[in-house]
Amino acid sequence: RKEVEQDPGPFNVPEGATVAFNCTYSNSASQSFFWYRQDCRKEPKLLMSVYSSGNEDGRFTAQLNRASQYISLLIRDSKLSDSATYLCVVNIRTSYDKVIFGPGTSLSVIP
Amino acid sequence: DGGITQSPKYLFRKEGQNVTLSCEQNLNHDAMYWYRQDPGQGLRLIYYSQIVNDFQKGDIAEGYSVSREKKESFPLTVTSAQKNPTAFYLCASSIELGGKGRYGYTFGSGTRLTVV
């Protein structure tokens, strides 16, 4: 089993739609969680951190369920500019700061 | 502005040659990382360094070498021993944001290496 797994995608949604991405992780020692966005042929950029209480940033909402080892990202009122690959990232603090990237879920927002 | 600079953006190399990818950061981050990304796949860790003069192998270190002589610099050498070096290479650095294991993680813009 991979350490971080994501919805395989791709997601093709119309403008204005709400879309949800799921991510599961296998290591219960995982401490920090993030969603990154990666545009085609560019570097990943931090979208938002994910906190236990859940957090919201504008149209984006992230949730963490430690018991189920599950992270989600909800995007409301999708824009064309939201088209990208969304990476689930998990930080496991062992003897070093081990950061594990999920394979990513591709989103295309269609006019 | 602080950030991570990778150079060159595009690099072509003949088979059998070593090539070095540059990564410089002025964020005062202690930890630096090299990742490889292949088309349609996630990032895989090649090497990482927590402090100057120390580095550790990641998941796919074979055929690569690194050095960390300065805090700001973490160059990656792709050697001729790397069987399939054509990929997108990303350098990153990180620092702890708070006391609870939340690390700021910043990427460079990447180097796209093609072996011809």
Tell me the pLDDT tens digit for each residue of A25-42: 998 888 789 999 999 889
Report the pLDDT value the prediction gives residue B103, as an integer from 0 to 100: 67
DSSP three-state, residue B10: strand
Contact of A78 with A109, CB cutoff 8 Å: yes
Smallest CA–CA separation between B78 and chain A, in Å? 20
pLDDT of residue B98: 63
Among the listed residues B13, B27, B7, the one whose alpha carbon sits nearest the alpha carbon of residue B72: B27
Say what the pLDDT of residue B25 is.
96
Report whether A55 contacts A61 (CB < 8 A): yes
d(CA B96, CA B5): 20
A-chain CB neighbours of B102 within 8 Å are 32, 49, 91
Residues near B84 by Cβ (< 8 Å), separated by ≥ 6?
A: none
| Distant-in-sequence, close-in-space partners of A44: CB < 8 Å, separation ≥ 6 | A36, A37, A38, A87, A101, B43, B90, B107
Q: Enumerate residues 6+ apart whose C-beta is below 8 A from B100.
A: A31, A32
The most distant pair of C-alpha atoms in chain A lies apart, rounded to whole Å, by 47
Which of A47, A33, A30 is CA-nearest to residue A85?
A: A47
The gap from C-alpha B26 to its chain's centroid, in whole angstroms, comes to 15
**Interface mutation target, options A23, A43, A96, A106, chain B, most CBs of B under 10 Å:** A43
* pLDDT tens per residue across span A48-97: 988 887 889 999 999 999 999 999 999 999 999 999 999 999 988 776 66
**A49 contacts B105? CB cut-off 8 A:** no
How far does the CA of residue A43 sit from the closest CA of chain B (Å)? 5
H helices of chain B, where?
Answer: none
**Do the chains contact at A45 and B102, CB–CB below 8 Å?**
no
Residue A38, beta-bridge partner list = A85
Q: A99–B101: do the CB atoms touch at under 8 Å?
A: no
Which of B41, B103, B108 minimises the CB distance to A43?
Answer: B108
pLDDT of B83 reads 86
**A-chain residues near B42 (CB < 8 A):** 87, 101-104
Cβ of A99 within 8 Å of Cβ of B103? The answer is yes
pLDDT by 10-residue block (mean), chain B, 116 residues: 88 91 94 90 90 93 97 96 92 76 79 92
Contacts of A96 in chain B (CB under 8 A): 31, 48, 50, 56
